[in-house]
Amino acid sequence: MHKVLIAILMAFVLAGCINSNNQVKRIPVAKAGNVMLYYDEIPDQVKEGGTPADSAATLRNYINKWAKRELMFQRAETNLPPDLRNDIEKQLDETRINLVVYEYQRMMMLQKMDTTISREELENYYSKNGNSFMLTSNIVKALFIKLPVETPNLNKIRTLARSKNPKDLQELEASCFQFAEKFDDFNEEWITMDRLSLELKEDISNQENYLKRTSFYETGDSSSVYLVSISDYRLRGTLAPFEYVMEDIKRIIWNNRRIEFIQALENGIYNDALKENGFKIY
């Protein structure tokens, strides 16, 4: 352990050394087979330990793991049959090509692809592709309130929760801020009825009938009262509201643009090569 620690300290001293060509000398740390591990190849988080003893132990553990992996690789590379090694090389070449192409496409998209999507474009897509946005779940806009059973003026809170008057809703929010264990206002966003059921901690077997006949619902247990005020709903099998699928439409439009951009990029490079005799078929 102390030898490793000494090696770490020596590494920092030697790191400043330069050769006759004014280049920093690489500091060897270990050798496995015919491969050398240099100090600059070790991740910073490995070199930056707590106490010197911790640093030495972490470094030694890293070196041992590196050696085992490297020796295993060398043994495998030596003993694999040639046809299998050739197949691996082909896969590596293909992976390298795909990675380089992907990074170039991503760079060009960041530089040149228009990412602005207007609301008008979203609405046009929604109106033209309505059949693609049918609901698979019942959704609601609602208030959900969980109160302790001993909450004062509980009847008034029930009345406020049923009201559609903005002033009453402000008063309700103030009361819930003071007394409620949970207060979720989903009147500005759509949520699934399944999510609301989870809040109620009970299964609503026939959600469609429940929504058709219920705008206010109360249940409870020995410690809490649960209030639900439903302001709007849509049933599964019907067209989803625009706001509910707007983010999905954004992703669809963006992905379509991405595909079109990449195709145009590929075609442009291909056509340039044809013009410049950079591509021939023999």
Q: State whether 128 and 257 are in the same domain.
A: yes
* C-alpha closest to that of 225 among 142, 151, 122, 137: 151
Helix pair angle (119-128, 242-275), 10° resolution: 100
3 state DSSP class of 114: coil
pLDDT at position 16 over 50? no
β pairing state of 139-148 and 182-185? antiparallel
pLDDT digits (tens, 9 = 90+) for 169-227: 999 999 999 999 999 999 889 999 999 888 887 778 889 999 999 899 998 888 899 99
Q: State whether 123 and 164 are in the same domain.
A: no
pLDDT band at 22 (very low <50, low <70, confident <90, very high): low
Please give the model's pTM, rounded to 2 decimal places.
0.71
Phi-psi group of 33: left, alpha or beta (phi > 0 → left; psi -120 to 50 → alpha; rest → beta): left
Q: State whether 197 and 280 are in the same domain.
A: no
Lowest mean pLDDT among 36-45, 142-151, 243-252: 36-45
Q: Which helix (H) or strand (E) holds 191?
A: strand 191-192
- Integer Cα distance of 35 and 33 in angstroms: 6
Residue found by looking up tokens 């694999």 in the block? 80
Q: Which residues contact 165 (CB under 8 A, 6 or more apart)?
A: none
Q: State whether 140 and 264 are in the same domain.
A: no
β pairing state of 28-32 and 35-38? antiparallel
Q: 2 vs 6, 31, 37, 52, 170, CA distance in Å? A: 6, 19, 20, 9, 69
* Domain enclosing residue 35, as ranges: 2-79
Q: State whether 229 and 250 are in the same domain.
A: no
Residue 176: CATH number of its domain: 3.10.50
Between 190 and 48, the more confident residue is: 190
Mean pLDDT of 63-79: 94
In a domain, 86, yes or no: no
* C-alpha closest to that of 225 among 140, 139, 152, 142: 152
Q: State whether 146 and 20 are in the same domain.
A: no
pLDDT band at 49 (very low <50, low <70, confident <90, very high): low
pLDDT digits (tens, 9 = 90+) for 73-120: 999 999 999 999 999 999 999 999 999 999 999 999 999 999 999 999
Cβ atoms of residues 30 and 37 within 8 Å:
yes
Round the average pLDDT of the chain to a whole number and report it.
88
Q: Which helix (H) or strand (E) holds 28?
A: strand 28-32
β pairing state of 191-192 and 182-185? unpaired
pLDDT at position 6 over 70? no
Q: State whether 49 and 19 are in the same domain.
A: yes
Q: State whether 148 and 202 are in the same domain.
A: yes
pLDDT of residue 183: 93
Of 234, 249, 271, which marks where a domain is finished?
A: 234
Cβ atoms of residues 25 and 18 within 8 Å:
yes
Residue found by looking up tokens 């060509």 in the block? 21
pLDDT at position 243 over 80? yes
pLDDT of residue 199: 85
In a domain, 84, yes or no: no
pLDDT at position 257 over 90? yes
* C-alpha closest to that of 233 among 196, 182, 200, 183: 196
Q: Which helix (H) or strand (E) holds 94?
A: helix 82-112
In a domain, 62, yes or no: yes
Phi, psi values for residue 152, rounded to 5°: -70, 155
- Integer Cα distance of 120 and 253 in angstroms: 12
Q: State whether 123 and 157 are in the same domain.
A: no
pLDDT at position 125 over 60? yes
Count up the domains in the chain and report the number: 3
